[in-house]
Amino acid sequence: MELVKKKIHMDRISSRAGTQVVLEEDVNISDNKPDASYLLNSKGEIIMEEIRAGENVVNLRGRLVVSILYLTDMEGTCASMEAVIPFEERVNMEGVSNGDLILTDWTIEDLTVGLINSRKISVQAVASFGLEMEEHVEQDAAVDIYHEEPLEYRKRTYPVVQLVLQKKDIFRLKEEMELSGNLPNVFQTIWHHITFDHVEFKALEEKISIQGEMRAFFLYEGEGDNDRTLWYENTVPFSGIIECHGCRENMIPDIRCSLGQCNVEVRQDFDGEERVFCVEPVLDLDIHLYEEENMEVLSDIYGVDKEIEALTTEVQLKSLLLSGSGKCKIAEHAKIQNTEMPMYQLIHSEGEIQIEEQAVVENGIAITGTLTVTTLYLCSSRSIYATKNMMPFQYVIEAENITPTSIFKLHHSIEQLTVTMLDSDELDVKAALQFKVIVFAVQKSNLITDIKVEELDLNKLSELPGMVIYIAGQGDTLWDIGKRYYVPIAQLKEVNELVTEDIKAGDKILVVKGSI
């Protein structure tokens, strides 16, 4: 006899670690930049240069790049600069060794930029890093058995989610946005902010489709006499295809998408005027593709004329509990920070989500965080100013039957942000935060991986009666009785004139050893 086996492909996190890195530096404004009088906005980005595993340690090397927008000492004009702070960090991580692939996630928990004087800016930041070592495991499971000897076996069906494909990839975009006719030509770009909204992925045959919206905001210096700071904003839809060998329709995509390198240039229009913003962003993709299957495996075996022992291995099987999304709505009135600089006209608003805690609760995942909204506005003196407002939120995304042992992955984005001016010092902020989640239930199961066949123990067999009436106890099954007395199920059904295998406590089952 021979087992028919099938491989189950599973992924699991075998080791986790985390660390926080404090980064701070005083940065001088370069000589070719004007003096700073007021800081308007700042945004930080972690660029990793090396993630290298050693023996029980991971070496992180990279740099924090902070883009800073500031008001110059010339009325109504802005400028920008970059501060670069390199870092190296060793993180203890038990179980890793040379060459292991480490999945790394990072967030800038706190970024504080301050003006020391007109030529020097202080930068302080706390960067948090989460590290995981993900193992890809193949587990054999017996799904059938070839046999000539008389034996009995039964099967069980498990809903199983298997990891079919995991890889990193990129998606390149190129979009051109031409200034509207009432805006002057571009002399130079001062600041840009590129975000992506409503990004959706779908698994197709040998490829993945992507679609969404790209939102772009630019501050620029006008050409000629009109050298004051101007602005332009536009939103364009995009779609495309990512080639993905092994991908099939109806697979479950879990794809983390983040903005990587982004090149912004000003190009000439058909009339030879500098009026076209060319944006070439690269989206970094961390792709996991799962496939759901109702897998039928052998759950037990016994012999009739031989002793057959099923050898099992305990494994953790994952099944899909939920793949969905939820929206958290925020609506608040917010005061500007500097009431001495009242608002005259809104220019641009952008938001950032900071997740502080996510935990499993009854039938859901509780999320606590803060939405930080930065708004640029024009004051009555025609100078640009900024205000920053922090709005805490709590939200529970529904996940029926989730338990503390479940595994979940959560992605967040700002689906909609609308800021309107109520008064010269008050804003109305409305936002819709989207949370996408994939939840896996984890079940420990004993899978048959081999069998041990021996001749029947004649002494043991001789002790069994040739005929007996067995009174079924609570929970007894026909399978249990047949296995105990080495009798085929079909024979038990025929002798007892049973149509099905269903029995209940107190039923009298006639057991006759041997064939009938």
Distance (Å, whole) CA 467 – CA 409: 58
Going by C-alpha positions, the residue among 112, 159, 446 that lies closest to residue 300 is 446
Mark residue 374 as left, alpha or beta (left: phi above 0; alpha: psi -120 to 50; beta: remaining): beta
Report CA-CA distances (Å) from 98 to 52, 93, 436, 499.
Answer: 8, 12, 34, 61
Contacts of 320 (CB under 8 A, 6+ apart): 159, 161, 252, 290, 292, 438, 439, 440, 441
Contact 92, 115 (CB under 8 A): no
Global pTM? 0.85
- Per-residue confidence of the chain (516 residues) as pLDDT tens digits? 789 999 888 888 889 999 999 999 999 999 999 999 989 999 999 999 999 999 999 999 999 999 999 998 877 789 999 999 999 999 999 999 998 888 888 999 889 999 999 999 999 999 999 999 988 888 889 999 988 888 899 999 999 998 889 888 999 999 999 998 889 999 999 999 999 989 999 999 999 999 999 999 999 998 875 567 899 999 999 999 999 999 999 899 999 999 988 999 999 999 999 999 999 999 999 999 999 989 999 999 998 888 888 999 998 889 999 998 999 999 999 999 888 889 999 999 999 999 999 999 999 999 999 999 999 999 877 789 999 999 999 999 999 999 999 999 999 999 999 999 999 999 999 999 999 999 999 988 899 999 998 888 777 777 777 788 999 999 899 999 999 888 999 999 999 999 999 999 999 999 887 643
The three-state secondary structure class of 19 is strand
Partner residues linked to 344 by β-bridges:
none
